[in-house]
């Protein structure tokens, strides 16, 4: 792994998670009680022995930088290399056309990195992967690019993801240009791939002249006939967050202890920024079932099928059901929360009700009082 660097590529300025991405990029959306989406890929990289990671980001990255700090929590505060946060060199981004554009601004970072391969990953993937399998497969096949894919099990999984087709032996024949156009494949591409750094640098260098600006579309998909592109199956748990619906569904999946144990323990721990909160305190009226609770919570109410982030305060008689309550929220006495996502530091006064629909949760934005 000494020869592999990491690139976390947050290449969209959209707000796929509505209000949850109103003030933050998708990679820093809180997830799983104490994490941010970026923690999963970043921890996987660190646990796999990748010690040089560049996080490319476009906009709304204050919370991401605040979260990542100097990379210490992921063991990436190295004397040499470590963690690099790389926003665009020039604003405004009106002329921004794709991720190669941003990479181009930071070509020096790629030149300076001494690794021969790069794991390029999106910032919205929930997984815990040891990358050594991918790296070995890639080297055995002398591949230029090796892409993770998943076999689809049922309908409704991995929406908004591209499908791909592979030949025997794993060679990728085709990747969807527009998601939803390939009917005859049940393999979906995960935006985590390993590529030769020399190729990556070449694609970046050539990106300005000819107007090609998307690494995946212009760099990989268009050249798929000329490159040795391989697919590598990912077994085990992995999910991609592209919508509020997926965010809510995959959050609630953590209440399945099989997924919980696999994601948080199987391939090493998932790291995040330390908050130094004391343990959760259950007081007299507490009644909790099928829920996840992070440290620093004070619980006097009733909680069912929910996820509570660090430092949440649930007062006496309050009822929380099928909901996600982010950091430092306060739920007043006898308040009722159902099918809701409360962003950080929101406050629901005593006796108030916040109710969304089943599988269509209502979002209370950050620091809002209800």
Residues that bind another protein (CB under 8 A): 32-34, 255, 257, 260, 263-264, 269-272, 274, 276, 278-284, 286-296, 298, 307-309
**Cβ atoms of 342 and 325 closer than 8 Å:** yes
> Which sign, positive or negative, has the C-alpha torsion 95, 100, 102, 108?
negative
What's the DSSP call for residue 359? Answer: T
CA distance 115 to 3: 4
Distance from chain centroid for Cα 304: 26
CA distance 320 to 324: 9
In the complex, the smallest distance separating the C-beta of residue 79 from another protein, rounded to whole angstroms, is 15
CA distance 24 to 29: 7
> In Å, what is the CA distance from 331 to each residue of 17, 63, 137, 293?
23, 24, 50, 15
Q: Between 6 and 30, whose beta carbon lies closer to another protein?
A: 30
Q: Between 127 and 134, whose beta carbon lies closer to another protein?
A: 127
In the complex, the smallest distance separating the C-beta of residue 275 from another protein, rounded to whole angstroms, is 9
Q: Between 153 and 289, whose beta carbon lies closer to another protein?
A: 289
In the complex, the smallest distance separating the C-beta of residue 75 from another protein, rounded to whole angstroms, is 11
Contacts of 81 (CB under 8 A, 6+ apart): 51, 52, 113
In the complex, the smallest distance separating the C-beta of residue 299 from another protein, rounded to whole angstroms, is 8
* Count of Cβ atoms closer than 10 Å to residue 205 Cβ: 14
Coil vs helix vs strand at 108: helix
Token duo for residue 242: 């592209």
In the complex, the smallest distance separating the C-beta of residue 263 from another protein, rounded to whole angstroms, is 8
Q: Between 160 and 367, whose beta carbon lies closer to another protein?
A: 367
Q: Between 224 and 286, whose beta carbon lies closer to another protein?
A: 286
Q: Between 118 and 288, whose beta carbon lies closer to another protein?
A: 288
In angstroms, the first-to-last Cα distance of the chain is: 50
> In Å, what is the CA distance from 353 to each residue of 177, 240, 364, 365?
45, 31, 12, 15
Q: Between 171 and 273, whose beta carbon lies closer to another protein?
A: 273
**Cβ atoms of 153 and 207 closer than 8 Å:** no
Q: Between 166 and 327, whose beta carbon lies closer to another protein?
A: 327
In the complex, the smallest distance separating the C-beta of residue 69 from another protein, rounded to whole angstroms, is 13
CA distance 370 to 368: 7
In the complex, the smallest distance separating the C-beta of residue 175 from another protein, rounded to whole angstroms, is 34
CA distance 303 to 309: 13
Q: Between 148 and 271, whose beta carbon lies closer to another protein?
A: 271
In the complex, the smallest distance separating the C-beta of residue 264 from another protein, rounded to whole angstroms, is 4
In the complex, the smallest distance separating the C-beta of residue 130 from another protein, rounded to whole angstroms, is 17
Coil vs helix vs strand at 15: coil
- State the DSSP string of 26-42: GGG-EETTTEETHHHHH
């Amino acid at each position: 792994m000494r020869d592999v660097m990491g690139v976390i590529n947050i290449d969209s300025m959209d707000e796929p998670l509505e209000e949850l991405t109103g003030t933050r990029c998708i990679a820093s959306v809180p997830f799983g009680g104490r994490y941010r989406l970026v923690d999963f890929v970043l921890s996987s990289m660190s646990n796999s022995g990748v010690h040089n990671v560049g996080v490319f980001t476009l906009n709304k990255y204050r919370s991401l930088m605040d979260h990542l700090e100097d990379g210490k929590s992921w063991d990436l505060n190295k004397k040499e290399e470590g963690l690099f946060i790389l926003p665009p060199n020039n604003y405004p981004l009106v002329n921004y056309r794709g991720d190669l554009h941003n990479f181009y601004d930071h070509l020096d970072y790629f030149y300076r990195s001494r690794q021969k391969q790069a794991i390029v990953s999106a910032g919205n993937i929930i997984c815990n992967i040891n990358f050594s399998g991918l790296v070995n497969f890639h080297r055995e096949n002398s591949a230029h690019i090796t892409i993770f894919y998943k076999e689809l099990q049922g309908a409704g999984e991995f929406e908004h993801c591209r499908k791909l087709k592979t030949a025997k032996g794993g060679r990728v024949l085709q990747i969807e240009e527009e998601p939803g156009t390939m009917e005859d494949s049940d393999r979906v591409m995960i935006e985590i791939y390993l590529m030769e750094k020399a190729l990556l640098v070449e694609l970046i260098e050539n990106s300005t002249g000819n107007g090609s600006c998307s690494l995946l579309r212009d760099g990989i998909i268009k050249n798929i006939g000329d490159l040795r592109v391989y697919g590598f199956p990912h077994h085990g748990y992995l999910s991609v967050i592209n919508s509020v619906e997926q965010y809510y569904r995959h959050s609630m999946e953590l209440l399945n202890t099989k997924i919980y144990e696999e994601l948080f323990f199987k391939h090493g721990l998932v790291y995040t920024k330390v908050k130094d909160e004391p343990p959760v305190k259950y007081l007299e009226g507490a009644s909790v079932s099928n829920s996840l609770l992070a440290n620093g919570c004070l619980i006097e109410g009733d909680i069912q099928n929910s996820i509570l982030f660090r430092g949440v305060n649930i007062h006496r008689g309050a009822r929380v059901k099928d909901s996600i309550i982010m950091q430092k929220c306060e739920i007043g006495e006898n308040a009722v929360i159902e099918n809701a996502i409360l962003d950080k530091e929101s406050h629901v006064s005593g006796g108030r009700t916040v109710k969304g629909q089943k599988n269509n949760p209502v979002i209370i934005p950050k620091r809002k009082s209800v």
